[in-house]
């Protein structure tokens, strides 16, 4: 796993950098006026060189001016040794959390909202971090400020009650360093429960309401929201939820979505292509896949051109240790025997479970790590987080992957970014991400260029079933230069069985990205859907693009009616090096004093 080394001196956080800049600005009051008061001609001492010399002196040895050093966070919790997904030292997959904790990042000052089936906020490892003012129950039965679980398990060992959200919250932000249980990735972040009722859907807007809550409009106190849920069927529109997601993302909240666990259902009753899920493929969300401890995708983990990053979770026989509903009996959560003597969880402490997992656990792990990055740089939003994940995620995992779902394995695009539809840009790295977060001030304003094309062409049937497809191809041109973020492709196709279909987009530089994978079990008749691809990230979009729609199975026919293509471009904005920024400030002070003297 690659690591980024810490930047020079104390530029380890915006706050540290700010403290140092304050000392430099204070220094200008000494250096700059002397230059302004010198006789005609160049000053005897160049203030820019003097200022730069002072900055360079702060790099040497242990004498640093105006720099406050963060204290490393140390987790003394008894179950941390079992939380291999955080940091294990065994060569297994982990998020390198200790690297971020050693830099002093704990998520302090950041609030994570858990949109889920409930949050047992009285749990001893959640209560210290619980934010009651940011919590709410959006279900149709309770609908109040208390997001506590409502439904209990239906029987011994069933684990089917409102247990999920409590476990999810623990992965993201269980209190660490308190000598109790385990730790979340962001051990000092605040956690808010945003309960939705997954049993009674009498409130159709509950997920949209939870998405907007305290992260849109005048109140934006929740910084990161985790969504460890989804719809297993393909191509289900969720317009209300998408509108809420767009509103909340525009207000600065980062939204993390589990990619889903339908890989094993592919070609049966569900579809594991996450690009067929509306919220997971939104440009305003971060879709997370599942990585087993052995460094390969979990057997259930969804894939897709929209997948952005992956994180360790259950797989290959090993689960995740996190908070569970306290006590025993039917209200006891996953680690529950209900007096039957049947216990599928070897963990003795019934307030915790060691059998949690799925992309439901991978997503809050990413949410917790992003809370650390948000602490490192309060300007962090979804777009900036994505740029930093592209820069810092570990794309060396499973280098030999050549599965069908991977879309050709790891591909390096024309911008040098590696992408794989099973992993996105790779394994999230907490140390590298928090280090990089301090180096950038934000992202340039997004630039959109869109093209709409009519096709109205019959799609030829497959020549050989699942081997040689019938293909229709169209090209379009883009003219706005920049560095690509996402490409969004809308397809409108009349077809009697859209599971026959697959589509591919190729950039002017030759990078190819499959937009959706054929699935003979997809029951949808006609297709009107927007697909997102991250595979072109960083490329220049200018030039001719090629879009192909393929029919891979015989027996059904259709017409490709039209398409749309939207390119979104933008780039990270570097924080100026302290010496450079100080020189600019010095010039401003000198110029200001010279203008004042000339009045």
Q: Which residues are catalytic?
A: 116, 164, 360
Task: Name the nearest CA neighbour of 237 among 203, 199, 282.
Answer: 282
Instruction: Give 183's contacts (C-beta < 8 A, 6+ positions apart).
Output: 75, 77, 80, 83, 86, 174, 175, 176, 177
How is the chain split among helix, strand and coil, in percent rounded to 5? 25, 25, 50
Residues pairing with 255 in the sheet: 225
Residues pairing with 334 in the sheet: none
Largest CA distance in the chain: 93
Phi, psi of 226 (to 5 degrees): -110, 135
Is the Cβ–Cβ distance between 70 and 9 less than 8 Å? no
Alpha-carbon distance of 184 to 152, in angstroms, equals: 24
Instruction: Give 62's contacts (C-beta < 8 A, 6+ positions apart).
Output: none
Rounded to the nearest angstrom, the gap between the alpha carbon of residue 172 and the centroid of all alpha carbons in its chain is 13
Is the Cβ–Cβ distance between 420 and 406 less than 8 Å? yes
Q: Is residue 449 helix, strand or coil?
A: strand
In DSSP notation, 326-370 reads: SSSSTTS-SS--TTTT--S---S-TTEEEEE-SHHHHHHHHHHHH
Alpha-carbon distance of 376 to 380, in angstroms, equals: 9
Rounded to the nearest angstrom, the gap between the alpha carbon of residue 123 and the centroid of all alpha carbons in its chain is 26
Alpha-carbon distance of 175 to 189, in angstroms, equals: 8
Residue 505: in which H helix or E strand, if any? strand 501-506
């Amino acid at each position: 796993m690659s690591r980024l080394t810490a930047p020079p001196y104390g530029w380890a956080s915006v706050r540290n950098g700010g403290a140092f800049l304050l000392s430099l600005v204070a220094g200008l009051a000494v250096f700059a006026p002397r230059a302004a008061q010198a006789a005609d001609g160049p000053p005897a001492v160049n203030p820019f060189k003097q200022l730069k010399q002072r900055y360079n002196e702060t790099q040497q040895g242990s004498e640093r001016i105006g720099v406050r050093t963060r204290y490393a966070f140390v987790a003394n919790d008894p179950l941390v040794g079992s939380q291999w997904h955080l940091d294990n030292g065994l060569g297994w997959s982990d998020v390198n959390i200790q690297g971020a904790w050693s830099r002093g990042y704990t998520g302090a000052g950041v609030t994570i909202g858990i949109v889920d089936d409930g949050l047992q906020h009285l749990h001893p490892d959640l209560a210290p971090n619980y934010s009651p003012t940011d919590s709410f129950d959006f279900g149709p039965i309770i609908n109040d400020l208390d997001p506590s679980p409502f439904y209990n398990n239906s029987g011994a060992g069933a684990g089917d009650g409102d247990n999920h959200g409590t476990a999810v919250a623990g992965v993201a932000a269980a209190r660490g360093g308190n000598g109790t249980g385990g730790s979340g990735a962001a051990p000092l972040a605040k956690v808010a429960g945003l309960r939705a009722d997954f049993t009674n859907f009498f409130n159709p807007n509950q997920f949209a309401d939870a998405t907007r809550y305290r992260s849109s409009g005048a109140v934006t106190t929740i910084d990161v929201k985790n969504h460890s849920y989804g719809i297993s069927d393909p191509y289900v529109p969720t317009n209300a939820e998408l509108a809420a997601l767009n509103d909340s993302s525009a207000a600065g909240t980062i939204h993390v979505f589990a990619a889903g666990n339908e890989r094993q259902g592919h070609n049966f009753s569900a579809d594991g292509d996450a690009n067929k899920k509306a919220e997971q493929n939104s440009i305003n969300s971060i879709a997370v896949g599942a990585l087993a401890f052995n460094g390969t995708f979990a057997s259930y983990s969804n894939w897709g051109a929209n997948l952005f990053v992956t994180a360790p979770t259950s797989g290959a026989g090993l689960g995740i240790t996190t908070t569970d509903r306290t006590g025993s009996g039917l209200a006891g959560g996953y680690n529950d025997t209900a007096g039957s003597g049947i216990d599928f969880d070897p963990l003795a402490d019934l307030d915790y479970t060691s059998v949690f997992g799925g992309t439901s656990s991978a997503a809050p792990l990413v949410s917790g790590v992003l809370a650390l990055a948000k602490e490192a740089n309060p300007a962090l939003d979804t777009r900036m987080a994505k740029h930093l994940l592209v820069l810092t995620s570990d794309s060396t995992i499973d280098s030999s992957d050549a599965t069908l779902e991977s879309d050709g394995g790891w591909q390096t695009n024309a911008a040098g970014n590696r992408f794989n539809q099973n992993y996105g840009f790779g394994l999230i790295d907490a140390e590298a991400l928090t280090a990089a977060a301090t180096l950038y001030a934000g992202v340039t304003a997004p630039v959109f260029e869109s093209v709409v094309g009519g096709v109205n062409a019959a799609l030829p049937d497959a020549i050989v079933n699942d081997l040689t497809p019938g293909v229709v191809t169209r090209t379009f041109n883009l003219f706005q230069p920049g560095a690509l973020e996402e490409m969004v492709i809308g397809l409108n196709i009349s077809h009697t069985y859209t599971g026959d279909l697959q589509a591919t987009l190729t950039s002017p530089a030759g990078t190819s990205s499959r937009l959706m994978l054929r699935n003979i079990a997809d029951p949808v008749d006609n297709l009107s859907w927007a697909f997102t691809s991250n595979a072109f990230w960083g490329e220049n979009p200018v030039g001719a693009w090629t879009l192909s729609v393929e029919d891979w199975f015989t027996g059904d026919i259709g017409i490709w009616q039209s398409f749309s293509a939207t390119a979104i471009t933008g780039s990270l904005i570097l924080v100026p090096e302290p010496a450079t920024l100080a020189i600019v400030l010095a010039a401003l002070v000198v110029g200001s004093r010279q203008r004042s003297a000339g009045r």
